[in-house]
Structure 1
Amino acid sequence: MKNIHPLLQPQKYRFMDQSNLGPSFSALQSFAIDDALSMSVGEGMSPTAARLWVHHNTVVLGIPDARLPYIKDGIDYLKTEGYRVIVRNSGGLAVVLDEGVLNLSFIFPDSKEVNIHDGYEAMVSFTQLLFEDLTDQIEAYEITRSYCPGTYDLSIGGQKFAGISQRRVKNGSAVQIYLDVTGSGAERARLLKQFYEIGKREEETRFTYPVIDPKVMASLNELLDTRLSVSDVRDRILKKIYELSGEVTVDPLEGQEIEWFNKRLEQMIQRNEKALENLT
């Protein structure tokens, strides 16, 4: 295999599949789990971890989104469209999660010694390897008129299907990617285009919010003319990490990790209440 980043080849992986927990599984729980895993991996209590997660009809806002001048109206719109709304604790802006979007987190150790770009580049390398039998056209550069634009947007032919964020906790780092597998990337983009139009209107703001063009976003199935399911991609990921490491364990949170999770979840809940206070 080519372009394999060293971070992707630990002696052992810990694999956690939470892609089928259903609509009651909250994105707040996901971010708290990744924080707990980051602490565990950073302390050397856990090997490098790979976690899969899916959330149903959820819009995850970035902290700047919560400061839109008409954010209450924007959130009300999302709720009328059937979406739950939370504010994330990692970088970036609003993204749409639904049952056609698979999220993958890699939890790497030694964040104090490893350059932050290494985490991003490892995820780019992994995604290219993951679909190397289907395409060699996956590129990483900013798709400026997408939602949550960033340097490590992943696209094919100028249409974005994935975005990457990273959160560092203690001595571990969680590198998170959303993969639009099924459905319409443009429809997801239209939802957030309307959100920003309602939430910002014509107001001048210090922060520059994206001006979204739905045509620059698509799902993998749309781009590759495939019929992949989220489960198909889940199987690809598990197979690939076996190839990269050779030893994979499947372990839930336990002991100290559960304590860390509960503490981080409570912090996430409080942070969300503060960010969205007086808006509901």
Structure 2
Amino acid sequence: MSTIHTLLKTNTYRFIDQSSLGPSFSALQSFAIDDTLSISVGERISPTTARLWVHHNTVVLGIPDARLPYIDEAIEYLKAGGYQVVVRNSGGLAVVLDEGVMNLSFIFPDSKEVNIHEGYDAMVSFIHYLFQDVTDEIEAYEITRSYCPGTYDLSINGKKFAGISQRRVKNGSAVQIYLDVTGSGAERASLLKHFYEIGKRNEETRFTYPDIEPSVMASLNELLDTPLTVADVRDRILTKLYELSGHIVTDPLNDTEIEWFQKRFDQIVKRNEKALDHLR
């Protein structure tokens, strides 16, 4: 039995499933929704919230990625491969999102009173709990030659299948994880390996970009030799949330939240345009 982190213990979860909205659903919309929910949860308008989201053929860049010496050519490479390119508003570097990648955001209250590491630890705790019936080998440590390497990379036998980021807005925090469920982790990593090779070439840069080795990344299906689907993981998450709380609500954004969303979305679009402005 996994140890459940305190942040996960709540009487009610709000569950928002946006995992099947299709290719027109933009990652920029996702960022704005999590910002909105962070405000709402932080002000106790909404209970602790879990949101699921899937984006099709999207590469989400970090701010440092947008400063690569040859970023225009690197982005053209991604676009030629059929990928949308956006810049994230939380920490981290480039990640690949597609229909085989499930994203989960936990929106927690009281961010000003809770240490930032607690949010990361809560997500790690939940993923252990989510898959405890199929593996006890999930570890959290940096996989240095993965894309978007970080202290809270999740791996099995040294192969990364998930990464976690966090963004704090007002008194709420959005802890976000991508889970490579299906497909080839190495193929996703190869895409970003070539992206960095094109974008950096042999130039000296102040920022240290990852030296990606595709073989250190894999999907859960590859690691567990299972036929899991994104829908299966969605059902697992909903079941575990109910086990933890005993009460799930599925309320859509209310009128106030929709207003906050529009403002946040406009800000994120402008910030994204500014980050890539030199490419115009």
Task: Give the TM-score taking structure 2 as reference length.
Answer: 0.99
User: Is 2:2–2:132's contact at 8 Å kept on the other side of the alignment?
Assistant: no
Counterpart residue identity of residue 181, structure 1: V
Deviation at 1:3, TM superposition (A): 1.2
Q: Which runs of 5+ in 2 are unaligned?
A: none
Deviation at 1:278, TM superposition (A): 3.0
Deviation at 1:204, TM superposition (A): 0.4
Counterpart residue identity of residue 210, structure 2: P
Q: Secondary structure at the match of 2:167?
A: strand
1:121-140, aligned counterparts within 5 Å?
Answer: 121-140=121-140
Which range moved further: 247-256 or 97-106? Answer: 247-256
1:72-111, aligned counterparts within 5 Å?
Answer: 72-111=72-111
Q: Which residue of 2 aligns with 1:204?
A: 204
The reply on whether 1:23 has 2:23 as its aligned counterpart is yes
The reply on whether 1:260 has 2:263 as its aligned counterpart is no
CA–CA separation in structure 2 for the residues paired with 1:205 and 1:39: 37
Deviation at 1:11, TM superposition (A): 1.1
Deviation at 1:118, TM superposition (A): 0.3
CA–CA separation in structure 2 for the residues paired with 1:145 and 1:110: 34
The reply on whether 1:227 has 2:216 as its aligned counterpart is no
Q: Which residue of 2 aligns with 1:146?
A: 146
Q: Which residue of 1 aligns with 2:69?
A: 69
Q: Which residue of 2 aligns with 1:245?
A: 245
Deviation at 1:2, TM superposition (A): 2.7
Counterpart residue identity of residue 187, structure 2: E
**Once the two structures are superposed, what CA deviation does each residue of 1:190-234 show, in whole Å capped at 9, x if it has no partner?**
000000000000000000000000000000000000000000000
Counterpart residue identity of residue 133, structure 1: D
Q: Which residue of 2 aligns with 1:33?
A: 33
**Once the two structures are superposed, what CA deviation does each residue of 1:81-107 show, in whole Å capped at 9, x if it has no partner?**
100000000000000000000000000
Q: Which residue of 2 aligns with 1:44?
A: 44
CA–CA separation in structure 2 for the residues paired with 1:270 and 1:196: 25
Q: Secondary structure at the match of 1:79?
A: helix
**Once the two structures are superposed, what CA deviation does each residue of 1:40-75 show, in whole Å capped at 9, x if it has no partner?**
000010000000000000000000000001000110
**Once the two structures are superposed, what CA deviation does each residue of 1:5-62 show, in whole Å capped at 9, x if it has no partner?**
0101111100000000000000000000000000000001000000000000000000
Aligned-pair RMSD on alpha carbons? 0.5
CA–CA separation in structure 1 for the residues paired with 2:41 and 2:20: 24
Q: Which residue of 2 aligns with 1:214?
A: 214
CA–CA separation in structure 2 for the residues paired with 1:43 and 1:253: 15
Q: How many residues align?
A: 280
Q: Secondary structure at the match of 1:272?
A: helix
Q: Which residue of 2 aligns with 1:14?
A: 14
**Once the two structures are superposed, what CA deviation does each residue of 1:239-276 show, in whole Å capped at 9, x if it has no partner?**
00000011110011111111110001001100011000
CA–CA separation in structure 2 for the residues paired with 1:226 and 1:269: 39
Counterpart residue identity of residue 122, structure 1: A
The reply on whether 1:176 has 2:167 as its aligned counterpart is no
Q: Secondary structure at the match of 1:278?
A: helix
CA–CA separation in structure 1 for the residues paired with 2:245 and 2:225: 31
Q: Which residue of 2 aligns with 1:274?
A: 274
**Once the two structures are superposed, what CA deviation does each residue of 1:101-134 show, in whole Å capped at 9, x if it has no partner?**
0000000000000000000000000001100010
CA–CA separation in structure 2 for the residues paired with 1:170 and 1:124: 23
Q: Which residue of 1 aligns with 2:236?
A: 236
Task: Give the TM-score taking structure 1 as reference length.
Answer: 0.99
Counterpart residue identity of residue 194, structure 2: Q
